[in-house]
Amino acid sequence: MNKIRYYIETYGCQMNVADSELVSGILKQAGYEQAESLDDADIIIFNTCSVRQHAEDRVIGRISNEISRKAKKPGLKIGVIGCVAQRLSGELKKINKKIDFVVGVDQYKHLPRIINLLDFYGVNVATDVNNSEVYHNMMPVRQGDLNAFVTIMRGCDNFCTYCIVPHVRGRERSRPLDEILKEVEEAGNDGFKDVTLLGQNVNSYNWKELDFPQLLEQVDSLETIKRVRFVTSHPKDLSDSLVKYMAKLDKVCEHIHLPMQSGNTDILTRMNRGYTSEHYMGLIKKLKAAMPDISITTDVIVGFPGETEEQFMDTYNMMKEIEFDFAFMFKYSPREGTAAAEYEDQVDEKVRLERLSRLIDMQNEITNKKYKEQIGKIKEIYVEQVSKKNPEELAGKSRDFKITVFKADKSLIGKFVKVKITEATGWTLKGELIEEID
Ligand code: 5AD
Ligand code: SF4
């Protein structure tokens, strides 16, 4: 008998990418088979993001489009998992009656049973948050290129006032050390040499008194991998010890993603971020002093409720001073159920858009400049794939997280090479192969 085939379409952050791989592992173990495409699937699962209204609207639109497939393929099941499933729960059924199942972030273990019983019980909704689920001993089925995402903790306790994540993903909990090490080791054995440790706030990792720098040290010592990264760091919890360990540990890459959110302390306070702009600036200085070539990326929100032009300019000027290698810049999006959505001094949409566009223009220049500074350098590149733009070129990443393309034979995919940078176009470096490292 043919196996039932599933296809997962993933939206949102790396945590969702990792969760889709976890769900894939759960379904495979239960005897399902991964479909090559949507057309081949008997079950389509949307793993959704609700961080901003736009992300949520987009995925709900996608689901409505794909639901029409059910008319052509009787028996096709369509399910929704992830943050929108968690947030809207049974409401999703009202938005679209043809959705077969809605399963939240702490209920993935039950997916095989839920899917099996669909024809008996009809629509199923399982969105309880139990605040302790860490999916013990469940191995993901990795997708895509040669980077592995390994979840080290789930949930978030910070309640930044704009953010929906703690409301949908529940309280913070750390995965046991041995399970993390086993997963990283196996990823390395399967050829994934660049590993990213994932959590909403990795700096508060704590398992039996073992903290994040100690976890990094253990991961760094594993023979099967070559590079270690981590996201996301919270500026309020980034310790001196982490800076020291980052500089000391060979496999830990010279890159940090450190969301700044705003350059104005009053706005940071209203965001409940737990740090001042001076504290943030101090961290940048410490990181640069310990690792002069470190690449720093960030997230910023403009038009947070009550933000004045002067306060926005504090963000603008601080970003100009720091010179981030790259920044994800967002206009504030009110999320129902969060504290800031209730604030009365919401900033006009036009003003939010205009500030965002000014900030993006300024940061683009800095990013260009930062990338141009790489010309002439020899960088270690992890070769990940054939370039999507030019089949004669290979693409990979440097330790400082810059995509680099160069002409070489496909046999180098999965290897580490030295490349001399000759050009910088937009957010991609171009170079010439010097030699294979191993
Ligand atoms: N509006 C705009 N941006 C947001 N982010 C989180 N919540 C919101 C919101 N309500 C941004 C933050 C966070 C990134 C993942 O998304 O900058 O770091
Ligand atoms: Fe959201 Fe703040 Fe938690 Fe990040 S730290 S997930 S921004 S609440």
pLDDT value for 1: 66
The Cα-based distances of 417 to 226, 272, 385, 412 in angstroms read 13, 44, 13, 8
Q: Does residue 275 surpass a pLDDT of 90?
A: yes
Q: Does residue 295 surpass a pLDDT of 90?
A: yes
The bound ligand whose nearest atom lies closest to the alpha carbon of 159 is 2
Model confidence at 143, in pLDDT bands (50, 70, 90)? confident
- Per-residue pLDDT, averaged over 305-310, amounts to 98
What is the overall mean pLDDT for the chain? Answer: 96
- CA dihedral sign of residues 320, 54, 231, 169: positive
The answer to whether residues 265 and 278 touch, using CB atoms and an 8 Å cutoff, is yes
pLDDT value for 144: 73
- Per-residue pLDDT, averaged over 15-41, amounts to 96
Q: What is the pLDDT of residues 53-77, one digit of tens each?
A: 999 999 999 999 999 888 899 899 9
Please state, as a whole number, how many other Cβ atoms lie within 10 Å of the Cβ of residue 304.
26
Nearest protein Cα to ligand 2, atom 2: 160
Mutation test of ligand 2: which of 51, 172, 200 has the most ligand atoms closer than 8 Å to its C-beta? 200
Residue 330 CA, ligand 1 centroid: distance in Å:
7
Q: Does residue 242 surpass a pLDDT of 80?
A: yes
The CA distance from 199 to 367, in Å, is 26
- The residues, any chain, with a CB within 8 Å of residue 2's CB and separated by 6 or more, are none
Q: What is the pLDDT of residues 308-340, one digit of tens each?
A: 999 999 999 999 999 999 999 999 999 999 999
Q: What is the pLDDT of residues 160-169, one digit of tens each?
A: 999 999 999 9
pLDDT value for 123: 67
The CA distance from 246 to 346, in Å, is 39
pLDDT value for 130: 86
- Per-residue pLDDT, averaged over 119-135, amounts to 87
The Cα-based distances of 278 to 10, 136, 262, 284, 314 in angstroms read 37, 40, 12, 10, 12
- Ligand 1 neighbour 356 (Cβ under 6 A): no
Residue 184 CA, ligand 2 centroid: distance in Å:
25
The CA distance from 66 to 76, in Å, is 11
Strand order across the 101-103 sheet? 33-34, 5-10, 43-48, 77-82, 101-103, 124-126
Model confidence at 127, in pLDDT bands (50, 70, 90)? very high
Please state, as a whole number, how many other Cβ atoms lie within 10 Å of the Cβ of residue 188.
18
The ligand 1 atom nearest the CA atom of 162:
10
- Per-residue pLDDT, averaged over 408-427, amounts to 96
The answer to whether residues 405 and 168 touch, using CB atoms and an 8 Å cutoff, is no
The Cα-based distances of 242 to 97, 217, 234 in angstroms read 49, 10, 12
Mutation test of ligand 2: which of 165, 173, 232 has the most ligand atoms closer than 8 Å to its C-beta? 165
pLDDT value for 121: 76
Nearest protein Cα to ligand 1, atom 13: 299
- Per-residue pLDDT, averaged over 215-239, amounts to 97
